[in-house]
Amino acid sequence: MTPRPFGVYVHFPYCAHRCPYCDFAVTTAPVPAGGRYVRAVLAELGLRAAGFDGLELVSVYLGGGTPSRWAVEEVAGVLAAIRGRFGAAALREVTIEANPESCDRARLAAWRDAGVNRVSIGVQSFDPGV
């Protein structure tokens, strides 16, 4: 019997500023230093992972907030932990949400090296005055 597919969503609740239309759980507090948020995400993964035994990981989505503000080595560490726990044989899509100002060449290359194969660009307005 073929395992049922599933995806992992990792919420990164930190933003540079709060948009007036946003209804998501986000904060404008500084991103915790020293890997504190990574440790929290990995602890949560450890607590919930057994509930997904026997399923096949097909997608990972890093959303938020603004996960493109996350340190690239921490993104890589979280993705490596997810692949290590669930395997990556069927993993087809790894997405990170990003704002244009946090998408420089070095960051894009580091995400690619970490396994990200899709970037979802957020645009709040096409009006420069807004």
Q: Mention every residue, 6+ apart, whose C-beta is less than 8 A from residue 75.
A: 62, 67, 96, 110, 111, 114, 116
| Helices 105-114/72-86 angle, 10° precision | 10
Give yes or no for residue 46 having a pLDDT over 90: yes
pLDDT at residue number 116: 98
Give yes or no for residue 36 having a pLDDT over 80: yes
Q: Which two tokens stand for residue 84?
A: 């290590």
The 10 Å Cβ neighbour count of residue 114 is 19
Share of the chain above pLDDT 90, in %: 72
Chain-wide mean pLDDT for the chain?
A: 92
Partners of 14 in beta bridges: 27
Question: Higher model confidence: residue 76 or residue 123?
Answer: 76
Q: Mention every residue, 6+ apart, whose C-beta is less than 8 A from residue 31.
A: 14, 37, 69, 70, 71
> H or E segment at 67?
none
Question: Higher model confidence: residue 83 or residue 21?
Answer: 83
Pairing of strands 118-121, 5-12: unpaired
Q: In whole angstroms, what is the distance from residue 82 CA to residue 87 CA?
A: 8
pLDDT at residue number 120: 95
Mean pLDDT in residue range 22-50? 92
In tens, the pLDDT along 55-109 reads: 999 999 999 999 999 999 999 999 999 999 999 899 999 999 998 888 899 999 9
